[in-house]
Each structure stands twice: as C-alpha cells, then as structure tokens.
A and B are shown apart, each in its own frame.
Chain A
Amino acid sequence: MPTIYNNVCSGLCPASCRLKTHVQNGILTEVKGDPHDLYTLGRLCAKGYTLLESVYSPERVIYPMKQIGKGTNSWQRISWEQALTEIAKIIIRIKDEQGNLWPVCLDQSLGTKGVLNRSVEGFFNSIGLITKIIGSPCESAGSDALRLSYGSCKKPAPEDMLNSQLIIIWGGNPAVTSLHQMRYVFEAQARGAMIVVVDPIFTATAARSDLYFQINPGTDGDLALGIAKVLLEEDLLDRSFLENYTKGWPEFRSLLKRLDLKDLASRTGIPVSEITELARIYGGHKPATLWLGCGGQHTPTGGQNYRLINVLPALTGNIGIAGGNVHYFSKDIGDFPSVFTDLSATEAWNSQDKKELLEHRRLGTGGVASLRTLDPPIQLLWVAGRNPASQDPDSDKVKQGFREIPTIVVADLFMTQTAQFADYFLPVTTPFEAEDIVISCWHYGTAVNEKAIEPVGECKSDFQIIRELAAVLNRMTPGFSRFPVEREAAEWLDLEMQKLYPLLGIDHYLELAGGYQRVNLAPVPWQDKLFLTPSGKYEFPLEYSKVQGTPPFLNPSAVPGSSKVYPFRLISRRSSFLLNSQFGNSARLKSLENSSVILINPEIGRLKNIVTGDKVKLYNQLGELGFEAYLTPSVPPEVVVAYVGAESGGDGLNTLVPLAENDLGDVIMGVKGFSFHQSYVNLYKVIK
C-alpha cells in the first residue's frame, strides 16, 4: 500500500493546486489532484501531470556543480562542503576588502511559492546590507493602478463571478492561465451572464465569449475613456456612488466632456458604434465585473490604462457589491509581515559609524546587465527561483552582464539559460522533497506541502542551503550571519504563519493537512466603501500621485511604434504548457506543442509568401530568432504573436524585447514594471 502525502504544485501559477502524492518504498508512484481542493476539484492542468516525471528527469541536476569558465559547459561535481565553503570565502573576502556587502547581489523571485522561500532574503538580510534586485516583471503596474484608485489592491473571491451578470475579460487569456476559474466563467454564462473579451488577439478565451472586441494593442486606456464618455452621455451612471464615495468626479467629468469619441475610437481601432454598444452593455448589466489580465499593462502606458479601466466600476457603482469589482491581484496576503524579512545584521543597523551603509542597495528588476557598472560593482550574484537570461528583456545584454560578474551562484532544478553562466550550481528540491506551506495568490487556499520523499541525489531546499551557508560563514567568521541556524523548518513555518492562524481558524499549520482551508478575506472587497486612499474615497485618475512624477494622462497611446524597418508589433502570449520558462524541460509537454511557433496573419503570409510550417526569422535591432510560421486570422496583420518562454537555438523570445519600463509599478514594488509588448520586429522566410 502506498503512503499518501499532501503536496502543492508550487510554481508561479495562481491555482496552486493541492496534490495527493503516493509513495512506495521511498519512490513517488502517483501524483493526483486533491478532490477536496474546492478551487480545482482535484483537476490539474497538463503541466501538473508531469510533476512526477520532472522529479526523476534525467535532465535534472542533482549534485552541486562548479563550472570551470562561465558558459563553457565544463562542469565538475563538487561536494556541498566545497561549494558552500568557497562561496562563504568569497562573501567574507568581499566584506573584508570592501567594508560592506553591496557587491553581493540577490536576484530572487517566486519560482516556487513556498513560504520558506522567504528565508533566502532573510539570510541575506542577516549578513548585512547587500544589493537587491527588486520589483516585479509581472503585474506591478496594474497592481499600482488599483492601489492608486482604491488605496489597496484587493480582489473578490473566485466564486463571486457566479454573481455577475456581465464578465468582461480584458487583456488576459484565462483559457490558458486560469483553467479552473474558467469553470466559474462557464457556470456564470450558463446562468445567463454575458461574457465579453477585449484583446488584440482572438484567443481561446475570446473564442468562447459572447462578444469579442479586437483592440489595437496598448490602447486600453482610450477604450476605457470611450466607454466612460458614453456612460456619461447616456446617463448610465450611479450618481449616488459618485457623489458619496469618489474624489475627483467633477474634474474627470469635464475631462470626459472635452474628449472626442471619434478620436478615441480611431486609436483603439473599434468603431464608435461598437464602443457605444459595449458601454450600453456595461451600463445595462449590474452587477458587472472586470477581469483584468497582465497583458494590457505590459505597454508603455499600461499603468495609466489600468487606472482608466478601473474608472468604469466607479462610474456604474460596481464597487463593493457581489458580482462586481475587478478581479486582478490581491496584495492582502503579501502584506502579512514575515519573520524572515525582519532578520537583520545588528552590526549594520546599530552602527554609529557614519560611513557604514544604512540601507540595502536596490536595483530594478531587469537590471542585471548593469550590475558591473555599479559602484561598487557586483562581485557575487545569487539567483534563486529566477531565470533572468530567459525572462528579462534584452536577453543578450543580460547574458553579457552575467559574463562580467566574477561569481554567480544559481540555485535551481535544471540547467536553465541563466545557470549556463553560473560558477556554482546548487541543486534544489521539488515540492515533494521538503516541507513548506503554499498560499494561493488567487483563491487564498492555504495548504501544507509535506515532505513525501527524501531529496533525489544531493538536492537541498533553498532554506536548507542558506541555513548551511549561514553555519559555514559563522564557523569561518563567528557572528558573520545572524540567521538562527539551529531553528528547524517546522519552527520557522509555525512562526511565519502566526499572523494568519486567526484568518485560517487554526492553531497550527499541520491542521492544514486536514482539508481545504482558505485565508478568510472578504469575498467581496470594499463593501463598506471605506477606501484606503489618502481621501478615504475612490480616487479618479486626474494625475498621478506626486511620488510618481508621472504626468497626467491625456493621450495614453501616443507612444512611438512601428517603423518601415520593423513594421510588426511582437506580442507574447502564454502557453498552456509553460509557466514562463518553467516546465520547459518536459519531453511530454514539448510533444504537445511547438513552443517556437509564430502566429502571423494570412494577409502577411500572402505578402511574404509564407505558409504554415515555413521556417521564418524574426529580427530587430537587438537580434534574430528562428520560428515556425503558423498563419491564423486570430491575429491582426500588423501584429505577430509568440509564446512567452519560447526558445530557439538556446536563445529566448526576450532577445527581441527591449528593456523598457512601463509607467507604474513603483508605488508598491519600488520600481516600475516592463513593457513586454512594445517590441517591433520584421521577419523573413528562411529558404532551405
């Protein structure tokens, strides 16, 4: 009989599916969805079915390795003792030579969502002040938009969509990214709700909608303004909400009056009559909800555009009511303080010496290429749960930056594009090999992830790695790290969860094994209409907060675009079989889809004599990348579409994407997000 354990699929996916894991003689024999998971009902996605084989994959790196010469692919297996001692020596030497640890840099993200993940940052805090790469390449501009409008980034519970009469899915493709939520969308549709999709691409989600609008990429703010103007003109407003709970309505109203609907319409590519129809639909269905994807905010004015979209629920009083509001991200969970991030090197904070650094040096995400130009330059980079060589824009520069950094440590499962530039590869555990807790950022389901098997090879969890590194450092230089090395993972987890226990209705995290538990946040946000903005009201976007220095919007889409040289806008879409670059190693998933396919409109195919299956090259000022053409009317003629995480000849899609900030992200995260969808390319057919 197998022993059954509780696990969680911990990659960067909002579903965080609970798993039931079967183990026999210390070997995983089956991984299934947990039927008691109220969000998934025990159904995984295709990726979830490959979790077991990824544990035993021959491509997985299972011993600590040292590369003799960056990018040479000449790796030597070394012992943990050697790896950690050599890394510790470098850290100590930096501190001795430099007097501080700014030349040590941490680039970490949520490659795995376990709570213990925070220990890595905690460890670095415990040795002193370092350089941290901060910010988010993901949702940050959109999150700021919500924060500025409502004072905080909150979302309704997933099942609140069942209360909606209208669901507008804008700038996202949940048929690929949120399968389980689509169950609610279909259920709402079956009960009579109307499903509207706004997207430049006729996606799998759009194909299932009742009404689809193909919008010019990056003009979401114009469309929102157009809808708002019609709502005003046709008096489809909730006056009582506007009068009682908002700030800036009179000014915003006069601004709307000044705008020309024809002008807005022509920018969006959607005719005035159709914008009017959409506005009437939105104004005529209550409750109506908006589900915003990440796609629309990855444009130069993405933050402003998301602020403008968030005007619509205010105009119609769709805030704080069941079935209304905006489904985006919630920052509520992330707001809980962490015992790990509270760690600090007393030495640094208590110093009377004025010359002592007082803060970590912070650098925006995507800044890897500039690490060597800082003063003092970075000498040691630690990468955990991230793959910047694949996922950061302008990958060639990122890789060049890596070449110049004297020591790079990568903790990962597979030999990623980033790991190819590592000096030390530290093999980490999968969720099945170490205990942790995972909290979904979408449905707040909170689950304990049990250790089901011993780690394969010599793999260790990120937590265990830094814990041992702290011990080695202290052995070499007593007191170097204040990380409490004697504290076990279980104790950390208990401490870390203290704040959440009341909201989960439990006294200890092990109770989470008993069944589905969810952090008890309000299923409908803002019911009390007590907004967390400075005014306490919903705030119209008249200008950005002074902190931003971002000018007020007037012409959201007036940003330079295509040229004769690079006439096609490159937009990336998500694949059902990848989470960014994660799962890219699975032979089974690769057999389901060619990830290096490029979608081209048939008109362009005719013009360039390209048919489906042809080899084509995409190029721009940054580089060139090979794809296989797929002709489809689902993409507009001036746009080409590739998968996020697409790889070709060892290079990723982001080789062709310039490093360009968008306009928000710095309110919550400290630095702005990225304009992933602002890359222009040309293409040609490769003649065999």
Chain B
Amino acid sequence: MINQKIFLVDPNRCLGCKTCQIACAVQHGLPPGVFLRKVELVELSGPAQIIKYYISTSCHHCANPECFRLCSEGAYRKLRNGVVVFDQAKCTGCGTCLGSCPFGAPIINPLNGKVIKCDMCYGKIEDHESPYCVASCPVGALKVIDAEDVKGMALDLKRRLPGMPRIEITQPSVRYVAVAMGQQIFRRRVPREGGRE
C-alpha cells in the first residue's frame, strides 16, 4: 500500500521570493535558467478584491502519472512512498513525456540532452531530511507530508486554488492551504483584469 508523499504549499505564507526555486537548481548543479521548480504569481481581480498569491510548484508526483504511462523506455518509476522518479540511464531524450505532463515538470537538461525532473529529493526523504526547496524556504511555506496526515490537519486544504487550471486526471499529490485574502481599501474600484507574471 502506497503512503503517498505530498507537497503541502501554503500561499498565505509564500512571498514569491523564489529561494526554493534557485536552491533546487543550484544544489542540483543545473545551469542558469534551468529549473525543476517554479514560483508563479497569480493575480485575479474581482469586483471588490484582488486575489493575489504566489505559488511554488514542481513535479506533482501524481497518483496516475502520465509521464510514467507514456515513456516507452520505462524510465519512470513510482516508489513505495509515491514519489515519481526517473532513470536517466534509460532516457533516450525523445521528449514524449515533456508533452504528457500537464504541469510541464519533466524538462530537458541542456547539459546532457536527457530528461530531468523533480524527484522530491527522495534520497533526503529516506534519510528523514527535507528536500532542498523545503529546507530553503525562509518562511516555511513548503512542506512534504504523508497522505495519511491530510485528514488530521486543522488546515483547510484544497486540491486547487482560484485561477489554477483544473487538472484531476493524473491525481496530483499536492495540496494547497486555502488562500486567505484580507480586506482591501482601494482608492478606486478595481478594474476587472489580471494575469500571470
């Protein structure tokens, strides 16, 4: 029985500082501009309020991983703790998985032309340490938890947040704390527009 490891992301803490993103890249020796994790701004304006938050995401270690299903070389594996790992030795660099992942998690490593993907730093997890990204976050906006723990948590956890695409088919192993926006006193009515940085 898989006890899936889950990324727990708290948009009410995330500052958008991208420390997690860069900590991962530097500690994996990736060249500048290549990232396994990305931090994005989501900004939506409603009639009286702007919904604005940052979200840090990587591979979602899905329960039904498309990458795993489509890779003809069998380079993907799902570990007992649910982490989706990737074997570079088997990778031919064909790129099929790149298009299959709804989150764009697998990328080509320009250093060797093969796919590279977040592996939840599973070696560290096995050693009861935190992944580089989690350990780097200055405000603790990122955690790895067990699926079992979700039920017992007092937090209001969501599978997606406002403004995020609805992707359920792969059953991503990521949970988000519900975004809380405070009261906002704008000098003028907020125009209806927004976008992503």
Contacts and interface: CB of A to CB of B under 8 A. Distances in A.
Interface of A: 40-41, 43-46, 48-50, 52-53, 175-176, 179-180, 182-183, 186, 195, 202, 204, 206-216, 269-271, 274, 576-577, 586-593, 601-603, 605, 612, 630-634, 636-637
Given A210-B183, A591-B33, A601-B191, A576 B22 contact: no
A612 B194 CA distance: 10
Contact of A179 (B45, B139, B191): B139
B152 interface: no
A210 B49 CA distance: 12
Contacts of A269: 187
A643 B3 CA distance: 45
Given A211-B182, A634-B50, A182 B138 contact: yes
Contacts of A633: 43, 45, 50, 190-191, 193-194
B185 A43 contact: no
Nearest to A35: B135
Interface string B1-40: 0000000000011011111011101100000110000000
The size class of the interface chain B forms with chain A is 35 or more
B43 to A, nearest CB: 6
B26 A183 contact: no
A632 B13 contact: no
B26 to A, nearest CB: 5
B139 A637 contact: no
B21 A46 contact: yes
B127 interface: no
28 contacts: A44-B136, A45-B17, A45-B19, A46-B17, A46-B21, A48-B19, A49-B136, A175-B16, A175-B17, A176-B17, A179-B15, A179-B19, A180-B138, A183-B140, A207-B50, A207-B181, A212-B185, A213-B185, A215-B187, A588-B22, A588-B33, A591-B32, A592-B22, A612-B195, A633-B43, A633-B45, A636-B186, A636-B187
Given A44-B136, A577-B18, 17 more contacts: A45-B17, A45-B19, A46-B21, A49-B26, A52-B26, A182-B139, A204-B52, A207-B53, A212-B184, A576-B16, A588-B26, A591-B32, A630-B197, A631-B193, A632-B195, A633-B43, A633-B190
A-B complex: 4 closest residue pairs judged by Cβ atoms: A602-B193, A591-B33, A269-B187, A587-B32
B86 interface: no
Contacts of A186: 13, 139-140
Contacts of A603: 191
A211 B185 contact: yes
Given A179-B138, A591-B32, A630-B197, A211 B183 contact: yes
A602 B43 CA distance: 12
Contact of B195 (A52, A179, A214, A631): A631
Contact of A176 (B15, B136, B182, B183): B15
B138 A43 contact: yes
Nearest to A207: B52
B187 A270 contact: yes
A48 B18 CA distance: 11
A50 B22 contact: yes
A351 B59 CA distance: 73
A209 B184 CA distance: 9
A589 B22 CA distance: 8
Contacts of B63: none
Contact of A46 (B19, B32, B53): B19
B176 interface: no
Nearest to B53: A207
B139 to A, nearest CB: 5
B188 interface: yes
Given A211-B185, A270-B185, A602-B193, A43 B137 contact: yes
A631 B184 CA distance: 19
A208 B180 CA distance: 8
Contacts of B190: 633
A211 to B, nearest CB: 5
Nearest to A594: B197
Contacts of A176: 15, 17
Contacts of B33: 587-588, 591
B187 A216 contact: yes
Contacts of A45: 17, 19, 138
Interface string B65-96: 00000000000000000000000000000000
Contacts of B43: 632-634
A204 B15 contact: yes
B68 to A, nearest CB: 29
